[in-house]
Structure 1
Amino acid sequence: MSVINRRTALRLGLSGAAVLAAGGPASALVQITVTGGNFTPLPIAVPDFASSDPTFGAEVAQIVRNNLTRSGLFRLVEPSSYPQQVGAPNATPEFASWRGTGADAVVMGEADRAGGQIQSSLRLWDTTAGEQVTGKSYGTDANSWRRIAHIASDAIYSGLTGEDGYFDSRVVYIAESGPKANRIKRVAVMDQDGANNSYLTDGRMPAITPRLSPDGQTIAYMTLDGPNSSGIYLLNMGSGQSQALGRFGQMSFAPRFSPDGRRLVFSVTQGAATNLYALDLGASQPFALTSGAAIDTSPSYSPDGSRIVFESDRGGRPQIYVMAANGGGAERISFGDGSYSTPVWSPKGDLIAFTRMSGGQFSIGTMQPDGSGERILATSYHAEGPTWAPNGRVLMFFRDPGGNDGPRLYAMDIWGRNESQVPTEGFASDPAWSPLLS
Structure 2
Amino acid sequence: MMRSFLTLLAACAFWAIPATAQQDSGPLRLEITEGVIEPMPFAVPDLVAETARAGEFASRIASVIAADLSGTGLFREIPAQAHIGRITSFDSPVQFADWRAINAQALVTGAVRLDDAGRLVVRFRIHDVFAGQELGRGQQLVGEQDGWRRIAHKVADQVYSRITGEGGYFDSRVVFVSESGPKDRRAKRLAIMDYDGANLSYLTDASTIVLAPRFSPTGDRVLYTSYETGFPRIYLLDVADVGRRVLPTMDGTMSFAPRFSPDGRTVLYSLTQGGNTDLYTMDIASGQSTRLTAAPSIETAPSYSPDGSRIVFESDRSGSPQLYIMEARGGEARRISFGQGRYGTPVWSPRGDMVAFTKQSKGRFHIGVMRTDGSEERLLTASFLDEGPTWAPNGRVIMFTRETRGERGESRLYTVDITGRNLRQVATSGGASDPSWGPLQE
Which amino acid is 2:127 matched to? W
Cα displacement string for residues 377-436 of structure 1 (whole angstroms, at most 9, x for unaligned residues) = 011000001100101101100100022121000111111111111111110000001100
CA–CA separation in structure 2 for the residues paired with 1:160 and 1:50? 23
CA–CA separation in structure 2 for the residues paired with 1:330 and 1:136? 48
Partner of 1:107: 108
Query: Per-residue deviation at 1:295?
Result: 0.5
Which amino acid is 1:49 matched to? L
Identity of aligned residues (%): 48
Q: Closer, same or farther in 2 for the Cα pair 1:214/1:11, shift >3 Å?
A: closer
Residue 422 (structure 2) pairs with residue 421 (structure 1): no
CA–CA separation in structure 2 for the residues paired with 1:111 and 1:9? 27
SS for the counterpart of 1:238 is coil
Work out which of the residue numbers 292, 317, 320 in structure 2 matches 1:317: 320
Which amino acid is 1:69 matched to? S
Which amino acid is 2:440 matched to? L
Work out which of the residue numbers 121, 126, 129 in structure 2 matches 1:127: 129
Runs of 4+ residues over 6 Å off in structure 1: 5-10
CA–CA separation in structure 2 for the residues paired with 1:66 and 1:6? 32
Number of aligned residue pairs: give it: 413
Which amino acid is 2:131 matched to? A
Residue 77 (structure 2) pairs with residue 46 (structure 1): no
Spell out the pairing of 1:12-411 with structure 2 (5 A cutoff). Answer: 12=30, 20=32, 34=33, 36-51=34-49, 52=51, 53-86=54-87, 88-114=89-115, 115-134=117-136, 135-225=138-228, 229-248=231-250, 250-403=253-406, 404-411=408-415
Give the RMSD, CA atoms, in angstroms. Answer: 1.8
Cα displacement string for residues 201-229 of structure 1 (whole angstroms, at most 9, x for unaligned residues) = 012121110001001000000002466x2
Tell me, yes or no, if the aligned pair for 2:27 and 2:135 is still in contact at 8 Å. Answer: no
SS for the counterpart of 2:81 is helix
SS for the counterpart of 1:175 is strand
Which amino acid is 2:206 matched to? G
Tell me, yes or no, if the aligned pair for 1:11 and 1:104 is still in contact at 8 Å. Answer: no
Tell me, yes or no, if the aligned pair for 1:48 and 1:87 is still in contact at 8 Å. Answer: no
Q: Closer, same or farther in 2 for the Cα pair 1:8/1:421, shift >3 Å?
A: farther
Residue 413 (structure 2) pairs with residue 412 (structure 1): no
Which amino acid is 1:387 matched to? T
CA–CA separation in structure 1 for the residues paired with 2:374 and 2:262? 22
CA–CA separation in structure 1 for the residues paired with 2:437 and 2:287? 28
TM-score, structure 2 length as denominator?
A: 0.90
Which 5+ residue runs of structure 1 have no aligned equivalent?
13-17, 21-33
Q: Closer, same or farther in 2 for the Cα pair 1:366/1:88, shift >3 Å?
A: farther
CA–CA separation in structure 1 for the residues paired with 2:437 and 2:78? 30
Tell me, yes or no, if the aligned pair for 2:262 and 2:307 is still in contact at 8 Å. Answer: yes
Query: Per-residue deviation at 1:87?
Result: 6.1
Which amino acid is 1:340 matched to? Y
CA–CA separation in structure 2 for the residues paired with 1:362 and 1:6? 50
Query: Per-residue deviation at 1:54?
Result: 2.9
SS for the counterpart of 1:380 is coil
Tell me, yes or no, if the aligned pair for 1:87 and 1:110 is still in contact at 8 Å. Answer: no
Tell me, yes or no, if the aligned pair for 1:173 and 1:188 is still in contact at 8 Å. Answer: yes
Query: Per-residue deviation at 1:181?
Result: 1.2
CA–CA separation in structure 2 for the residues paired with 1:91 and 1:58? 19
User: Which one is further off, 333-342 or 74-83?
Assistant: 74-83
SS for the counterpart of 2:146 is helix
Higher relative contact order (CA 8 A, sep 6+): 2
Q: Closer, same or farther in 2 for the Cα pair 1:211/1:6, shift >3 Å?
A: farther
Query: Per-residue deviation at 1:139?
Result: 1.5
CA–CA separation in structure 1 for the residues paired with 2:245 and 2:90? 48
Partner of 2:6: none
Tell me, yes or no, if the aligned pair for 1:355 and 1:365 is still in contact at 8 Å. Answer: yes
Tell me, yes or no, if the aligned pair for 2:29 and 2:164 is still in contact at 8 Å. Answer: no
Cα displacement string for residues 53-90 of structure 1 (whole angstroms, at most 9, x for unaligned residues) = 33320011001111000011101112212123446432
